[in-house]
Amino acid sequence: MKRRILGKSGLEVSAIGLGCMGMTWAYGAPGERGDMIALLRDAVELGVTFFDTAEVYGPFANEDLVGEALAPVRDKVVIATKFGFRINPTSPWPQGTDSRPEHIKEVADAALKRLRTDHIDLFYQHRVDPTVPIEDVAGAVAELVKVGKVKHFGLSEAGAGTIRKAHAVHPVAALQSEYSLWSREPETEILALVEELGIGFVAYSPLGRGFLTGAFGADTKFADDDFRGTNPRFRAEALQKNVALVEALKDIAQARNVTSGQLALAWLLAKKPWIVPIPGTRKRARLEENIAAADVSLGAADIQAIENAVAAHPIEGGRYDEQGLSAVNL
């Protein structure tokens, strides 16, 4: 597996990481624990060194899973987790944001126990808390860095002003935001900013929550406990239109002897050398497919063909529903 460094932080990770959320949360019933532990360990054997989790994924179950699976190889991997939500253990969804400095420190200590480690490699604020100055948040993480509990500070889905203010207090190693062929908002302002500041970019949902792999058709129905069923882009009327993009990408991929998913990941990797996608999966075959995308090289003609396809097929529907789920880093 090729490696990349997240901005100027010096934090080296595999070119493609593994987003672990879907193993326990949001996409239907959790995977069988033994199978998920085996998959996480397979990922390490296949060269993945970058694993993404969060306390809210479960809640708490995902960190515990990742901790158990990676404990035997802790010195070989980079683990990223997140703080910043108010969690009710009896509810699968967060109850608002909470980035009070004292809460950040409590979350760090609890995460260290679940992850079975003495340090968190990358600690993200999961969502900006409008009630807590970002300078206070950065200061709290800086204290955790000083005592060795955290190695690097990250932000997720933060705006330009927030990023600048946080970075002025303590270096931001990485920004994690949704970025893919059907979610290109970071291109407007954020990518230029993080490049200016020397911040790495971690792309979550780089396969559009599975959509860009061609796994879903116009008639796909989602289970009641599958978060995607609430997304405007996955509703029946939107899928009818959005599948046209997948078909166009499939043609481009087939001409290059790669899968649609590999094409989508290779496109991200070609954008900047400090962008690292973290696709998630529960399947060994899909894991191998995603990892192989790191070896797919796209030329200028390939990129142009992809860009033309995206331009010709505008995406129908927003990323999240109207009920506030945009507060969750899915």
Active site residues: 57
| Exposed/middle/buried for residue 155 (C-beta within 10 Å: 0-12, 13-18, 19+) | buried
Integer angstrom CA distances of residue 141 from 69, 105, 175: 26, 8, 15
Q: Which two tokens stand for residue 42?
A: 């397979």
Handedness of CA 28, 58, 233, 312 (dihedral sign): negative
Helix (H, G, I), strand (E, B) or coil at 231: coil
3-state secondary structure of 133: coil
By the 10 Å C-beta count (0-12 exposed, 13-18 middle, 19+ buried), 193 is classed as: middle
* Helix (H) or strand (E) segment spanning residue 79: strand 78-83
CA distance 315 to 182: 7
- The stretches of the chain forming alpha helices (DSSP H) are 33-45, 61-70, 101-115, 134-146, 160-169, 190-197, 236-255, 260-271, 284-292, 300-312
Here the tokens at position 234 are: 């996955």
Half-sphere exposure of 255 (CA within 13 A, CB side): 11
Return all residues near 295 (Cβ < 8 A) that are at least 6 apart: 2
| CA separation for the pair 137, 171 (Å, rounded) | 12
- Residue 73 C-alpha from the chain's centroid: 22
Q: How many helices (H) and strands (E) does the chain have?
A: 10, 10
